[in-house]
Amino acid sequence: MFYLSAPMNLSNKETSHSDILPLKKVYLKSIAQGFLNQENVSAQWKSLNYLGCPDYKDALVEYANFVNILRSSGAEVQFFEEDKHVTMDSIYCRDASIATDQGMILCNMGKIDRKGEPAAQRLIFEKNNIKIIGEITSPGTMEGGDVAWLDDKTLAVGHGYRSNMDGFKQLQALLAPLGIECIHVHLPHYKGMNDVFHLMSIFSPVDDDLAVVYSPLMPVMFRNMLINRGYQLIEVPDSEFESMGCNVLALSPRNCVLVDGNPITQLALEAANCNVHTYKGRNISVLGGGGPTCLTRPISR
């Protein structure tokens, strides 16, 4: 782990300690720079445990629509660059780092094929003068999909096959000087070590008192804690869990992005006074198991 360094140059109105405030700056890894071409996709998808082979041309169209939603919200969109040391999984750029008001924490990926992603992101952060305050090192593992802000001083951290206890303790040590409490959330075995399963697979906050959840896989203690904190829980049905119904990105409170094809979840969000943007995501989300939160590395809100 690195030592803490000087704060990032953020105004008082900006923070990295939120998953629901208006999105101001976000990094993405484009399909063109992540997938590269159809030949690359065809060579990698099986070893990366995708559900099927994405179509590169269709993925470009889906991604352009997704980016347009983000830009229309007013967010400043920046892009990670092509890097020969990463795979097509790098489009799910949330997982390789964690943003704080003091700077970035680089993760250590639980999925072996993704080990090169934090170093690739480091190059871009350093190039753009974004401070790095620490990193998770072996034997610790931590992926950004396993962390979610409950408030500006409380971070829920999943413990499963992608993020282990050693990684949790390292993250806790980095965040304690910032006055941040890390809530340890045990995740279930579900489909095992090779599955794409993070905390944000079953929990997506869309306001400070509203979250989308998949309760059949939620730890009882964590679910009860959310209720005790005053959350209204929007329950994703079984039929929409595999289609990424529980992976919802907040652009601002109750203004969110959802993969198209989850009508029950969408109606439930709208009934809770949410504005829901949808994008067709078969090739960029469903096949690779990465929804709109996974496709983004928010820097500030």
Summarised one tens digit per residue, pLDDT across range 82-112 is: 999 999 999 999 999 999 999 999 999 999 9
DSSP state of 142: B
**Domain, as residue range, for 165:** 25-196+280-300
232 falls within a domain: no
- 194 band by pLDDT with thresholds 50, 70 and 90: confident
183 falls within a domain: yes
CB 145 within 8 A of CB 162: yes
CA distance 92 to 290: 6
CA torsion sign for 271, 262, 95, 111 is positive
CA distance 213 to 203: 5
CA distance 188 to 158: 10
Mean per-residue pLDDT, 53-74:
98
Mean per-residue pLDDT, 228-238:
98
53 falls within a domain: yes
Q: Could you tell me what percent of the chain has a pLDDT over 70?
A: 96
CA distance 229 to 85: 42
What integer pLDDT is reported at residue 13 of this predicted model?
74
What is the number of domains present in the chain?
Answer: 1
Which one, of 190, 200, 194, lies nearest residue 290 by Cα? Answer: 200
Q: What is the pTM (predicted TM-score) of this model?
A: 0.94
CB 133 within 8 A of CB 160: no
DSSP β-ladder status, 249-252 and 255-259? antiparallel
Mean per-residue pLDDT, 110-134:
97
233 falls within a domain: no
79 falls within a domain: yes
Summarised one tens digit per residue, pLDDT across range 2-58 is: 333 333 333 457 999 999 999 999 999 999 999 999 999 999 999 999 999 999 999
CATH number of residue 189's parent domain: 3.75.10.10
